[in-house]
Structure 1
Amino acid sequence: MSSHYIRPIGPLPPGMGKAAAGEAIFVGRGETGFCAAELIERRDGVISREVVTAQELAARTEPEIAELRALLATARGDIAGLTLDRTRIMGIVNVTPDSFSDGGQFFDTEKAIAHGLQLAAEGAEILDIGGESTRPGAAPTTPEEECDRVLPVIEGLKRRTTARLSIDTRNSLVMRRAIEAGVHLVNDVSALAHDPLSLEVVARSGLPVVLMHMLGDDPRTMQAAPTYDDVVLDVTDYLAGRIAVCEAAGIPRERIIVDPGIGFGKTINHNLELLRSLSILHGLGTAVLLGASRKSFIANLMKRLTGADPQTRLAGSLAAVLNGVAQGVQIVRVHDVAETRQAIAVATGR
């Protein structure tokens, strides 16, 4: 059995993509161009790699390569009414007492609403509202308690901002009630695998959904010696499998966004390998979301204690964002919206 992958490499500077038409590899949003690609094949556990130019890639006739080229080039549809011609910012609104970065800071409904409004004012076009911490080691929250936390915040923000609202949950009851309250997007860290009813809920809603990779299904144990054959290919294969499950359940590919799940069952090196290879995910034919904001691997990379203040990780968070932007990521999920918006504007000129 063999699997094939295309990882676009050598991103062109902003504005040069269209000028290089015919000499570049383009991904979904149309303006992100690459001058070459790494062709990867995994056959019976053996991985082979070959670097080719854009012209050489275009000349390849193998059916597997042609299919991947088509998925790379497929225009990405709007997500909740937002075009994906540039990187969109998703601001994080944690309505929890125990999230790794700001747990308890916005646990009060009015404080959470005020925080969401502030993030929107700073440039967040999507607000991701979550009522259950899924940080490493976190204990589960009941769906009923989760609803009690997030629904008043959704309702308050719905009345006071035009930003798109996303529900960050792995429970179908919370999804359903948040959809009824008017959210525009579902974000599930389990890729709709945790709750067997979630596929039907999302399919019926017609809303876009974020499918994230997490090793296992329990945040309490996901960081216990995570291992992969090849983390980049394993994560890509997992997400491809979940996309197939979603399509079979009636969720079309154009409504799907994939997230490699930085920090969810990964070592420092796993996270860095994924960040270096984000562009491989464009071969899935979906939008790509990156969520690396304030993650502990940033502190650990600098030889700090895991418990170092997450709010001191801004520089590393921005570096991850700009790396993602250069690789064509369409959505970045962040805590520090104003700083992220400024960094993206300087890097891209828009």
Structure 2
Amino acid sequence: MRLGQHDLDLRRRVAVMAIVNRTPDSFFDRGRTFPLDTAVDEALAHVRAGADLIDVGGVKAGPGEPVTPEQEHERIVPFVEAVRERTDAPISVDTSRASVAAAALDAGAQLVNDVSGLVEPEIADIVAARPGTGLVVMHPGGPPRTRPFRPSYDPDCTTDVVRTCAALAQVARERGVDGQQLLVDPGHDFGKTTFQSLEVTRRLPELVTLGHPVLVSLSRKDFLGEAIGGLPPEQRLEASLACAALCAQLGARMVRVHDTTATVRALRATEAILGWQPPLSAMRGLD
């Protein structure tokens, strides 16, 4: 996958996508990075810690106050411009609005992370018209910005995830997006119970068979908190790292995270254990 000046080889390496929320009501940081200067500093810190790309969002994924297109534009585009002046690291934009995606890409972003299931399919046209940009399509599991209530799938959640992601990827390709510039995301917690998110994780290889790199966005999410006893987001780091390492082994090639340093270390160790990459330092018993 080529993002701007960067080639991401995702065959035997897992890329780290670091989260920066330009929202006042995000579930984890509670608006800590809402101010523009703080958000830019956070992005640069993630890059120094080893993030492969930055993902910025201007609308909370879950239920919350309405955000107009103008507000979302103001939260995202100045951030992209400011970060682009300081680093050439790829920037991803978490949006479901074609107008915001276009403005962000024109400002210097290289990836659109659409968690809505292509509610505005014109996003694919926008990506296709700009070489060196990519698109993430995700299984939303229901209307955007809603919480699930006893969701059911026929015949099961994972089958629906694979079927939906395949259909979304097909729509994007038909609208001109290069297949090598597409990622698919199973949408952990989106329209899913904890049991369903855990099932999708175990069966991740079924999504891998679609042939597009799999992005997992699981950092500090509810299904992990419930898996370890109902712990709040600030106590879910260890579960997030365990899940990231397991997803890498099961075929994920990009992980969206809040905790870059810890995740980079966990994934580099996982890659070395699996024999995908050599150890970054290997002097024990040799000197």
Give the whole-Å Cα distance in 2 for the aligned partners of 1:103 and 1:163: 25
RMSD between aligned residues: 1.5
Percent of aligned pairs with the same residue?
36
Cα distance, 1:79 vs structure 2: 5.1
Q: Is the 8 A contact 2:3 2:90 kept in 1?
A: no
Q: Which residue, 50, 70, 73 being the options, matches 1:123?
A: 50
Q: Is the 8 A contact 2:69 2:100 kept in 1?
A: yes
Name the residue aligned to 1:72.
none
1:332 counterpart = 2:255: yes
Cα distance, 1:280 vs structure 2: 1.1
Give the whole-Å Cα distance in 1 for the aligned partners of 2:174 and 2:121: 14
Give the whole-Å Cα distance in 1 for the aligned partners of 2:66 and 2:130: 25
1:226 counterpart = 2:151: yes
Q: Which residue, 111, 127, 132 being the options, matches 2:38?
A: 111
Give the whole-Å Cα distance in 2 for the aligned partners of 1:91 and 1:196: 25
Cα distance, 1:300 vs structure 2: 1.7
Give the whole-Å Cα distance in 1 for the aligned partners of 2:220 and 2:263: 12
Q: Which residue, 195, 201, 204 being the options, matches 2:120?
A: 195
Name the residue aligned to 1:12.
none
Name the residue aligned to 1:263.
189
| 1:177-236 deviation line (CA, Å, top 9, x unaligned) | 001101011100013x2224323222222321000111122322x412211121111110
- Look up the equivalent residue of 1:217 and give its one-letter code: P
Aligned-partner SS, 2:214: strand
Name the residue aligned to 2:89.
163
Give the whole-Å Cα distance in 2 for the aligned partners of 1:247 and 1:347: 32
Name the residue aligned to 1:146.
72
1:283 counterpart = 2:283: no
- Look up the equivalent residue of 1:333 and give its one-letter code: R
| 1:283-313 deviation line (CA, Å, top 9, x unaligned) | 1111110110000112222332xxx531210
Q: How many residues align?
A: 268
Unaligned runs of 5+ in 2: 278-287
Give the whole-Å Cα distance in 2 for the aligned partners of 1:159 and 1:125: 17
Q: Is the 8 A contact 2:13 2:271 kept in 1?
A: no
TM-score w.r.t. length of structure 2: 0.89
Q: Which has the higher strand share?
A: 1
Q: Is the 8 A contact 2:140 2:191 kept in 1?
A: yes
Residue correspondence of structure 1 range 50-129 to structure 2 within 5 A: 77-78=1-2, 80=4, 81-84=7-10, 85-129=12-56
Name the residue aligned to 1:186.
112
Larger radius of gyration: 1
TM-score w.r.t. length of structure 1: 0.74
Name the residue aligned to 1:243.
169
Cα distance, 1:78 vs structure 2: 4.3
Q: Is the 8 A contact 2:80 2:104 kept in 1?
A: yes
Q: Which moved more, 1:223-232 or 1:108-117?
A: 223-232
Name the residue aligned to 1:204.
129
Q: Is the 8 A contact 2:124 2:135 kept in 1?
A: no
Q: Is the 8 A contact 2:214 2:254 kept in 1?
A: yes
Greater RCO structure (CA 8 Å; 6+ sep) = 2
Aligned-partner SS, 1:287: coil
Give the whole-Å Cα distance in 2 for the aligned partners of 1:142 and 1:253: 31
